[in-house]
């Protein structure tokens, strides 16, 4: 549905991608409603210029009435590493998602599900993979398994009338990413270690390029289809991490741990930390796969069906990150 006055509904609006998306939509004159689970989230959403809708994903009575005049629904809310609890992944990435799509099926809404390359990640290197790669249903790492299951939920709903599309960005980055603060803290504390030798190739997706793909997906792309989106070209993971650290006025340490050792350690750590009397692990199998494997994706399908081409180069994104940090001199304001 398209109308002169467009209204978008966003979940995960107070996260890294969500805050950028809301700011962008508001700047375009689009009305935004965003689900808020807490007073703090509601305050953030209000400051961004959107209307907070208090509620929980799995309680549609809290928010479903707000969808009746909505044209586009962007689903960003998800559990992701370093989360290690299977029940949290299932509740958020599968059960809550199922509730959301069921509310959208009977409505005239464009549903844009932000997934991840992790949905097809089985623990082996991914080199120039396209959308024909099978979903990682039942993967040993919890995050990939849950993202694969989530995509199944969306595609099955599309067969029943959901006007849905799936975007799979790889390694989303840019100013405002709170994970950068954790990296800086780790470097400053002398605890940072590179997974592998840093030579593993990776695709990346600057936040501007993901927002560009989301806007294209509002009216382009085939119902029920998934699309990889990424920056132009690939880069060694260590080089990218070093460039991002340099933009934050840090030098990346040379300490590393082999992929095999990290994977073995993560399996042991996850097993121990699942005991009821322990708290979250410092390393998960999902993190090892996401950071330690070669992962490059082919965006040909997105270019063909969405008209997608990267709007921001990696070099320009790094320069903007450097400028943002230099102007504030505070990592917590990135």
DSSP calls for 49-98 = T-EEEE--TT-GGGTGGGGTT-SEEEE-----TT---HHHHIIIIIIIHH
Contacts of 189 (CB under 8 A, 6+ apart): none
| 163 vs 154: CA distance, rounded Å | 10
Contacts of 277 (CB under 8 A, 6+ apart): none
Q: How far is CA 65 from the centre of its chain?
A: 27
Q: Please, are residues 87 and 146 in contact by the beta-carbon 8 Å criterion? A: no
Residue 89: active-site member: no
DSSP calls for 288-327 = HHHHHS-EEE--HHHHHHT----SS-HHHHHHHHHHHHHH
Angle between helices 285-292 and 142-159 (to 10 degrees): 80
HSE-CB of 261 using CA atoms within 13 angstroms:
8
Q: Please, are residues 112 and 73 in contact by the beta-carbon 8 Å criterion? A: yes
Angle between helices 97-104 and 142-159 (to 10 degrees): 20
Single out the catalytic residue among 89, 143, 308, 325: 143
Query: Is the alpha carbon torsion for 181, 186, 188, 194 positive or negative?
Result: negative
Q: State the catalytic residues.
A: 143
């Amino acid at each position: 549905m398209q109308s002169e006055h467009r209204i978008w509904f966003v979940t995960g609006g107070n996260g890294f991608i969500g805050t950028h998306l809301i700011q962008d939509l508001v700047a375009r004159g689009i009305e935004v409603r965003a689900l808020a689970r807490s007073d703090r989230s509601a305050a953030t959403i209000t400051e961004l210029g959107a209307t907070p809708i208090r509620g929980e994903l799995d309680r549609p009575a809290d928010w479903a009435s707000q969808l009746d005049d909505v044209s586009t629904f962007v689903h960003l809310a998800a559990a992701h590493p370093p989360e290690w609890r299977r029940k949290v992944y299932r509740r958020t990435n599968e059960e809550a998602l199922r509730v959301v799509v069921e509310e959208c099926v009977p409505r005239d809404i464009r549903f844009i599900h932000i997934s991840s390359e992790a949905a097809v990640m089985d623990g082996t290197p991914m080199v120039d993979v396209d959308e024909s790669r099978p979903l990682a249903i039942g993967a040993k790492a919890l995050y990939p398994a849950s993202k694969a299951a989530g995509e199944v939920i969306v595609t099955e709903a599309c067969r029943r009338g959901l006007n849905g599309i799936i975007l799979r960005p790889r390694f989303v980055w840019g100013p405002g990413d709170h994970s950068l603060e954790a990296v800086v803290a780790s470097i400053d504390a002398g605890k940072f270690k590179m997974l592998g030798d840093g030579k593993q190739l990776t695709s990346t997706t600057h936040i501007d390029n993901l927002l560009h793909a989301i806007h294209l997906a509002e009216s382009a792309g085939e119902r029920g289809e998934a699309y990889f989106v990424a920056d132009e070209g690939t880069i060694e993971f260590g080089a990218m991490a070093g460039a991002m650290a340099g933009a934050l006025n840090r030098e990346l340490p040379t300490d590393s741990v082999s992929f095999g050792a990290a994977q073995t350690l993560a399996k042991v750590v996850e097993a121990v930390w699942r005991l009821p009397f322990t708290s979250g692990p410092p390393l998960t199998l999902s993190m090892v796969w996401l950071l330690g494997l070669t992962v490059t994706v082919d965006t040909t399908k997105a270019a063909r069906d969405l008209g997608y081409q990267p709007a921001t180069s990696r070099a320009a994104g790094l320069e903007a990150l450097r400028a943002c940090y230099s102007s504030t001199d505070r990592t917590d304001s990135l």
